[in-house]
Amino acid sequence: MKEKLEQIRTAAEAELNSAGSMEQLEGIRIKYMGKKGELTAVLKGMGKLSKEERPVIGALANEIRQKLETELESRKAALQAELEAEKLKEEVIDVTMPGRKNSEGKLHPLTQVMDEIKRIFIGMGFSIAEGPEVEYDYYNFEALNIPKNHPARDTQDTFYIEDNIVLRTQTSPIQVRVMEKTKPPIRIIAPGKVYRSDTVDATHSPVFHQIEGLVVDKDVTMADLKGTLEMFVKSLYGDSTRVRFRPHHFPFTEPSAEMDISCFNCGGKGCSVCKGEGWIEILGCGMVHPKVLANCGIDPEEYSGFAFGVGLERIAMGKYDINDLRLFFENDLRFLDQF
């Protein structure tokens, strides 16, 4: 049995020295020192030995087992070091090489202009109101003094979900909802996406953005409207910007007006941008129609107000000298990276 133990030691040491992986080491451990291993089998057979041989063989077997365990751990540590060295070699970082720069995202030009307009009106004490894009016909038309079959509906041909449910053509329904739920004074802007059945071209899109404003309080006049909008455009385009108002008609305001500003390209002298007129139409506005106030539960004898609506794309096109509205929606990075 002593010879058998020496053979096991020699064979196990040779295999340990040649092991090239953790899997091989584990196989050697199981082969010699596992529950059914060769060294374990020898120890289990010691009951057949004489009293004189048993302590001698037992001591030798334990010595060999301890030695093999020590060599196994040593070989395992050596293999681990080799693996780590190889991994470090593969993953080495040359700190002298230039890094790969991550490209930074940018806000879309429409978002930039929208945020700027929000900041201007918030600075004037307005709050921001929101509402659904899928809207009832009542809020989109009837509450705004545009009953069924009214001619004004022809200029706001929209997408119908059902007979009385539409994709909103303006953000004015938000104003109606606010007036129904809020007691004056009211001072809000209502930005958002709107929809009209327009053919796509350089100046039209079936999806675009509007920012509408509403002020309702006692003794609100047209002078308040003009002063507010003049401050808005001067904040947006500069103090040299001039403003003019032209009479117009909107069913939900009376009196109503279109507001023009001096051309931001030529300063009012006349150029291709303003078609030689020196003025550019920028928004529609007016005093809230008494019938609209009454529809929303506000007494028009006690309160008055003004409203206005501006197209975000039109503002952005003027601000950045863009001549085709479709560029905003084509997601061409060559265009978007300029802003």
pLDDT digits over 276-288, tens only? 888 888 899 999 9
For residues 274 and 264, what is the distance between their CA atoms, to the nearest angstrom? 9
> pTM value?
0.66
State which H helix or E strand residue 136 sits in.
strand 134-136
| 261/156: higher pLDDT | 261
Question: What is the tens place of the pLDDT at every residue in 30-42?
Answer: 877 777 777 777 7
Cα angle vertex 195, ends 203, 163, to 5°?
140
- Tokens matching residue 106: 């940018």
Burial of 292: CB neighbours in 10 Å, binned 0-12, 13-18, 19+? buried
| Rg of the chain taking only CA atoms, in angstroms | 42
Average pLDDT score over residue span 208-228: 95
DSSP 91: T
pLDDT at position 64 over 90 = no
For residue 203, what pLDDT band results from cuts at 50, 70 and 90? confident
Distance in angstroms (rounded) separating the CA atoms of residues 164 and 167: 10
Statement: residue 78 has pLDDT above 70: yes
| Euclidean distance between CA atoms 227 and 304, whole angstroms | 16
Q: What's the CA gap between 231 and 121, in Å, rounded? A: 10
Q: In angstroms, how far is CA 72 from the centroid of its own chain?
A: 56
Rounded CA gap, 74 and 313, in Å? Answer: 73
